[in-house]
Amino acid sequence: MKFGFTVPNNFGVDDPADVVGLAVRAEELGFDSVWVNHHVLNVGYVWDRLGERPYHDALVTLTWMAARTSRVRLGTSVLVMPYLHPMVLAKELATLDRLSGGRLVVGLGVGSLPEENELLGVGYDDRGALSNEFIEVLNLLWTQSSADFAGEHYSFTGAVSSPKPLQQPRPPILIGGNRPPALRRVGQLGDGWHPMMLTPESVAKRLPVIREAAEAAGRPGVPSEVSVRLGADTLTPALAAEYAAVGVDELVISWNSGDVAVISDGLAAFAAEHGIGTPRQRRTAAAT
């Protein structure tokens, strides 16, 4: 089992350098990946949690994390596609993949906050169809020297996006979401699945939906990766073994807190409990 950590860029930490420092500590402890959260505005349940406190930008934070680390994979958990433009994002992510030495994991989702869509002036009810096209556009821009696309939401000819990602043919795309449309999206367009807070039983129940959609789309072997996000306090070694038994490759933990000291100590305790990293890595991290 691999283990990842989602930094609290979404929990009102005043200094973003402290958020990045937690990613560095996770790498020192032997975690396999570090991830960022994404929203644009403090509205709805984000406002309820933060008020006016900071929710630091996902990609700027991830880029800083890339510069401060050398080994861990760098993931987005998840980028809300309707808030972004695929042409702009394709260039940003390809550049980040190259700067990081090919460590990027692209987690994508459709979003679930109507108030934010309204303020940003983007549709909510058709976000699924838009997101399907969004993924297709990303894939074309990353893999074609000159891309053409004709869709309802995006249409263009002769689009050249450069640089291309370092990872070939492109970074892995992991689709977030637990409901049937998201599961079918994984099978039809994604490489892997990145759900939140599902039990092992729930994962096992949903995987056949993904595989059926993948087979129908001529994409056997999808999902190639299942990465489940959980609260750190809910995960025991025995439960981690249950996830592994149903086909989960990675468990990505987070703390429901913006207390940097608490999270830093929690990372070390979690690594020791779950046998993450080598003893030398854990001793080195504990001394810093």
Other beta carbons within 10 Å of 71: 12
Q: 3-state DSSP: the chain helix, strand, coil percent, rounded to 5? A: 45, 15, 35
Model's pTM, two decimal places? Answer: 0.95
Distances from the Cα of 238 to the Cα of 65, 200, 243, 282, angstroms: 31, 12, 9, 21
List, in sequence order, every beta strand (DSSP E) within the chain: 2-6, 33-36, 73-76, 79-80, 104-109, 147-150, 155-159, 173-175, 192-193, 225-231, 250-254
What domains appear along the chain, each with residue ranges and CATH number?
Answer: 2-255+278-287 (3.20.20.30)
The 10s digit of each residue's pLDDT in 36-88 is: 999 999 999 999 999 999 999 999 999 999 999 999 999 999 999 999 999 99
Mean pLDDT of successive 10-residue stretches along the chain, which has 288 residues: 98 98 98 98 98 98 98 98 98 98 98 97 96 98 98 98 97 97 98 98 98 98 97 96 98 97 98 84 51
